[in-house]
A and B are shown apart, each in its own frame.
Chain A
């Protein structure tokens, strides 16, 4: 019985019999399968819906990530996109939709309003959907660029594959504050 020395994945190829077979951990296999077959339920309320349209349309093309098919019934979906501001009046509907979804279910907060209420901190707005339902990935931006959302989707896929349910935030991959010198050079190059 040999074992492939591959510590990064949990796949093992077992030899010794006539054909040989591979084993893997069931949850890793499931995670891999879930990762590329996200059936989404778009809960679109406000401005971010415009960027959501852009994301679903050909230029940014969400379909590349296996998250193409929108399900218009929460019972058939496993990824809930909360796109836009959730008002106090809307919150019961959101909660109900979340409860109707079957496990495994993931929630992606699209935009600042869904993440923390944004600049509408007043009597009518829920300050972030995590006050009402648990949330997996937050994508900040008002509205976020489609690239940022795709980054969030990839982050979610990564978390699904790892089986990690702690919330995560999409952050810029490049922090200008930490790379002041490079930024200056870029500016010099661009500005001539």
Chain B
């Protein structure tokens, strides 16, 4: 059923569909970022496909896997009438100098608005022609993009300077009050980080 969508896409955009696969039962088409908006419009408007439910939009940072366009913007769609789903992806990166830019899907589905803001907030992917591209989950003063693989998980950027009261851990014994971090499982770099203003007694 939904394999047909991939065939339809291949027929309609012969050059722009870079690859397709159906892993774990999810049909996926990797789209050329230049054709991102056109493909989305086609999926929305073609009556045989009719993807009217905007389900999800996010990105993945493939830095550790060494993929050259670093980010993959992933979008999940569903059709209410036909009940089929598809995932479309586009690879963008900032290595090629153009920045991680991709067309915004807000003109097609207005629900893309917050999802794109979130992706911008977390990964720094720039959605061109987005009506209101601001940070959504983090505060405007925040620097960097937390879900990128090179952002240290523990790097605080406090809005309020932490208090510095030496005796305030009085009720705790020496072992209590330590953070529950999963230091032992953290195989990847970026846990310990010198720039982060660590809490005073840590």
Binding site for B on A (CB under 8 A): 88-89, 91-92, 95, 116-119, 121-124, 126-128, 130-135, 138, 166-169
Closest to A169 in B: B171
- CB-CB under 8 A from A88, the residues of chain B are 139, 156-159
A131 and B159 within 8 A (CB):
no
B143 to chain A, nearest CB (A): 11
Does any Cβ of A come within 8 Å of B138's Cβ?
yes
B146 and A121 within 8 A (CB):
no
A127 and B199 within 8 A (CB):
yes
Cα distance A128–B162 in the bound complex, in angstroms: 10
9 contacts between A and B (CB under 8 A): A88-B158, A121-B154, A122-B153, A123-B153, A127-B199, A130-B168, A131-B163, A135-B168, A166-B171
Does any Cβ of A come within 8 Å of B155's Cβ?
yes
Does any Cβ of A come within 8 Å of B181's Cβ?
yes
Name the interface residues of B110-168: CB closer than 8 Å to any CB of A: 138-139, 146, 151-160, 162-163, 165, 168
A86 to chain B, nearest CB (A): 10
B178 to chain A, nearest CB (A): 8
B160 and A123 within 8 A (CB):
no
A165 to chain B, nearest CB (A): 11
B138 and A124 within 8 A (CB):
yes
Cα distance A169–B172 in the bound complex, in angstroms: 7
Does any Cβ of A come within 8 Å of B177's Cβ?
yes
Does any Cβ of A come within 8 Å of B1's Cβ?
no
Cα distance A90–B98 in the bound complex, in angstroms: 35
- CB-CB under 8 A from A89, the residues of chain B are 138-139, 159
B144 to chain A, nearest CB (A): 9
B61 to chain A, nearest CB (A): 15
Does any Cβ of A come within 8 Å of B64's Cβ?
no
Closest to A132 in B: B160
A11 to chain B, nearest CB (A): 30
Cα distance A124–B136 in the bound complex, in angstroms: 13
Closest to A142 in B: B180
Closest to B176 in A: A169
Cα distance A167–B165 in the bound complex, in angstroms: 12
- CB-CB under 8 A from A169, the residues of chain B are 171-172, 176
13 other contacts beyond A134-B165, A138-B171, with CB at 8 A cut-off?
A92-B160, A122-B153, A122-B154, A123-B154, A123-B155, A124-B138, A127-B202, A132-B163, A166-B170, A166-B171, A167-B170, A168-B171, A169-B171
B180 and A119 within 8 A (CB):
yes
Closest to A140 in B: B176
B171 and A116 within 8 A (CB):
no
B177 and A116 within 8 A (CB):
yes
A56 to chain B, nearest CB (A): 26
Name the interface residues of B41-68: CB closer than 8 Å to any CB of A: none
A91 and B159 within 8 A (CB):
yes
Q: Looking at the complex, which one of A116, A123, A130 makes contact with B146 (CB distance below 8 Å)?
A: A123
- CB-CB under 8 A from B176, the residues of chain A are 169
- CB-CB under 8 A from B168, the residues of chain A are 130, 134-135, 167
A187 to chain B, nearest CB (A): 26
- CB-CB under 8 A from B165, the residues of chain A are 130, 134
